[in-house]
Amino acid sequence: MPKSLRKILSALLALSFLALTPAGYASQKTTITVFAASSLADSFTYLGKAFEKSHPGTSVLFSFLASPSLATQINAGAPADVFVSASGKDIQNASDRVPIYQGYVFNRVVLAVPVKNPFKIVRIRGLNTPGVKWIQCAHEVPCGVAADAALSSDGTVTSKPVSLEPKSASVIAKLLLGEVDAAIVYHTDVVKNRKALKEIVFTDRLASSTRYAIGVVSDTKQKALATSFMDYVQAPKAILYLRRSGFGVIS
């Protein structure tokens, strides 16, 4: 073995020992795994931490991806305890393992533009301006389904997106990175990035909306904890937080 390679290997070995120190070592905590739509990443990370605080000795692990991908993984036996999808259809597709679920908060897609707004887009049909690069979610994922419905209900947009992104988080990331001039994103993404983005809403609120759904995976080994997490995120305090983050709730 070359000397340099040996040095690198021993450095890596030392590094992996660091992971065993208390900070990286998962202690005797009870853990639940929550599969949640990528649009929930920020708010659920926050709610998860709050849940851990109010339930000492527990820890919540999240997997944030596009809802159809999460449904596929759950159907393939992924070790999830709770599933929160961004649409009813996706949780239905996982109904073998999530037979019972409830409607949850709402979200709606809006047209978001950077505050600088180089193309001065102020209406939905501003997307037709020559040279504007805009993106949306793929047709298969909830944010894409809502975007398609909102655009077709609006009926003024004739230009095509330059990319159909696999999940809502990738759309907002590319818009914030400045790679595109506009994007159809969730209202909650704009709320989170108020300083950087402006939004233009679709007049058809129903078409542009999606309703999240939440359910416990039936064969979970942590039924009690999973159920109390589900209750926690549906309690008034959590709902108030979600509403402040831009989600819609039935009052």
Partner 1 sequence: MTLHKVDKLTGTLAVLASFFIIAPMFALLVKVPWGSFLHDLAQTQSKQAITLALWTSILAACICVLLGVPLAWVLARGNERVTNILRPIVLAPIVLPPTVAGIALLALFGRDGLLGKYLYQATGWSVPFTSIAVVITGVFVGMPFLALIVESNFRHIPKDLEDAAVTDRASRREVFSLVALPQIRNGIATGAVLAWARALGEFGATMMFAGSLPGRTQTWAMEVYMQMDLDMGTAYTLSAVMLVIAVAVVFALRKPLTQAFSS
Residue among 71 and 200 whose Cβ is closer to partner 1: 71
Q: Cβ of residue 39: shortest distance to partner 1, in angstroms?
A: 16
**Interacting residues of 130 by C-beta distance below 8 A, sequence separation 6+:** none
Of 163 and 234, the one with the shorter C-beta distance to partner 1 is 163
Beta strands in the chain (DSSP E): 30-37, 58-65, 82-85, 101-114, 134-137, 163-165, 182-186, 197-200, 209-216
Which residue, 75 or 227, is less far from partner 1 as judged by CB? Answer: 75
Enumerate binding residues for partner 1 (CB under 8 A). Answer: 66, 68-69, 71-72, 131, 133, 135, 138, 140, 161-166, 174, 177-180
Q: How far is the CB of 141 from partner 1 (least distance, A)?
A: 8
- As given in the structure block, the two tokens for residue 179 are 């790679």
Determine the Cα angle at 159 with ends 154 and 164, to 5°.
90
Smallest distance from partner 1 to CB 237, Å: 34
163: left (phi over 0), alpha (psi -120 to 50) or beta: beta
Taking the complex as a whole, the smallest distance from the CB of residue 76 to partner 1 amounts, in Å, to 9
Shortest Cβ 131–partner 1 spacing (Å): 6
Distance of alpha carbon 52 from alpha carbon 62, whole angstroms: 13
